[in-house]
Structure 1
């Protein structure tokens, strides 16, 4: 069983990832680190706490992450994609105000030390909180077994600019730091997550099996997400499950993904290429090893992914 700490900016796709982690018997969710991204940090933490409460898992701590990128710039949020509260049409019956406290990673470091070299970090939002954890205590972060990032687009169009993916673009300094310093790093980029679609018909099927308040959230939030995506990419067959793809990858199902190993850089300079993820894909380039070398997902078995996701999300 994978012991996972989920770093998220709890909008719609992050919420589906969190629900998947709670439902998957092969994942032991140890904590959620909630930061800014799709929405502000306090709402992100509130949404994570709300989902955990619906699941009856208030034993899982919600750790307050970052409120803005390392540059100090004011972040841009996406209410047209994720809704004002981050859950599409849902307004959680919990205030975000109690979460307006200072960021504190003490609990994060405690969880890692209590599970020495047995924690997998899955980061599905901006990389800021993860980079801050490394800056604050590299000796503790080196005790993490492996790290999975949802982010980047390699030889692929971006989704927030022509060349950049949203998580890397939102804090390119943090993304570059993590890519060059986190050992045993796996990156799940847009190259594969764009194809990880849930169609309206599949969402309706999941809803027929929804028998808890947590699972009953899936259809309204993904219907909202689908309508938003029809504006972004008219005619798209469904909603891309970017974030849950990283969690699926972390379960290491044989043959689900294929990978290449490359050294990755993220451009953090202001300009046209800001946030672009760079790796050397020239023919004959040897694979890398060691810290600073990442596995990059290059293909995804779509049929197996869809079947697996349906199985987990409809599991009794």
Structure 2
């Protein structure tokens, strides 16, 4: 078995694709799924995660519910205008009803127990707000050695989608994001909007996926409203699969090309709140003192073979 993986998620249409990708990839041992508030309420994100795992025949994967609000300030806005009132474009009935409830003890407890029990360091893929991961690192600093990488979908180098500066996952809990990205020393990969939008898939790609079998058909059935929203964003007939891009990197390290940069997160109350501040200037051009970002660094995903990535996603999501 390959990479040991835990997904922390707030499903979400693209989260559903990401969970299915991991659940159907032989290269990964999916140890668990934890849920967090985000696109919709915690109750809805948890139910959706259980539905997607049931669709994939993976009721063996433990699920635990985590934070239902940010660390400090209330979440400004959910993303039901993109993902629908239930998180799945109002079409959650396209997925099977789960025959189980989330496990007891909560997300941080499950994360800690899975990392402690693993025979080798674990990859965590947070594809929602980073609240659960910040809490894990705060409560269990002794477990950092058991984490190989944290592969995060979030942030934007050239701007955001929730505000002019901030991407939704980071904006939903900037204090948690700063704890994970800046204040800790666990290796992190940040997969930002700039790349995930370039990795968007065409409506024809989705239709072909829908014809491959029950899983592809169910995933395709979730997309009409999400696709309509992204036609306006992209300017063409397609949609972003943000979270699946990050999970692809978690499954297959190096499928995305990364570069290391200094990083900080804006936690102010001003218009830049939630922005990821990534200093991409050449080292010799970086100033010292005022205006300098924090000393932390992250590997930022900046490029990929777009056709190769889409083929990777299609291959795994279409497997019988």
Instruction: Name the TM-score, length of structure 2 as normaliser.
Output: 0.89
Q: Which residue does the alignment assign to 1:8?
A: 9
Q: Which residue does the alignment assign to 1:169?
A: 171
Q: Which residue does the alignment assign to 2:268?
A: 269
* SS at structure 2 position matched to 1:294: strand
CA contact (8 A) 1:42 1:100 kept: no
CA contact (8 A) 2:48 2:92 kept: no
Q: Which residue does the alignment assign to 1:293?
A: 297
Q: Which residue does the alignment assign to 2:309?
A: 305
* Residue ranges of structure 2 left out of the alignment (5+ in a row): 287-294
- Take 2:297 and 2:190, find their aligned partners in 1: how far apart are those partners? 10
CA contact (8 A) 2:62 2:103 kept: no
**1:50 equivalent in alignment to 2:19:** no
- Of 74-83 and 48-57, more deviation after overlay is shown by 74-83
Q: For 1:214-233, what aligned pairs fall within 5 Å after superposition?
A: 214-231=215-232, 233=233
**1:62 equivalent in alignment to 2:63:** yes
Q: Could you say if the C-alpha distance between residues 226 and 285 of structure 1 is closer, same or farther in structure 2, counting changes exceeding 3 Å?
A: farther
Q: Could you say if the C-alpha distance between residues 235 and 98 of structure 1 is closer, same or farther in structure 2, counting changes exceeding 3 Å?
A: same
Q: Which residue does the alignment assign to 2:258?
A: 259
CA contact (8 A) 1:147 1:182 kept: no
Q: Could you say if the C-alpha distance between residues 34 and 286 of structure 1 is closer, same or farther in structure 2, counting changes exceeding 3 Å?
A: farther
Q: For 1:25-40, what aligned pairs fall within 5 Å after superposition?
A: 25-40=26-41
- Take 1:206 and 1:187, find their aligned partners in 2: how far apart are those partners? 27
CA contact (8 A) 1:69 1:75 kept: no
Superposed CA RMSD: 2.4
* Residue ranges of structure 1 left out of the alignment (5+ in a row): none
**1:126 equivalent in alignment to 2:125:** no
Instruction: Name the TM-score, length of structure 1 as normaliser.
Output: 0.90
Q: Could you say if the C-alpha distance between residues 75 and 188 of structure 1 is closer, same or farther in structure 2, counting changes exceeding 3 Å?
A: same
- Take 2:305 and 2:15, find their aligned partners in 1: how far apart are those partners? 21
- Take 2:285 and 2:188, find their aligned partners in 1: how far apart are those partners? 18
Q: Could you say if the C-alpha distance between residues 225 and 143 of structure 1 is closer, same or farther in structure 2, counting changes exceeding 3 Å?
A: same
- Take 2:318 and 2:97, find their aligned partners in 1: how far apart are those partners? 27
Count of aligned pairs between the two proteins: 308
- Take 1:234 and 1:157, find their aligned partners in 2: how far apart are those partners? 15
- Take 2:114 and 2:253, find their aligned partners in 1: how far apart are those partners? 25
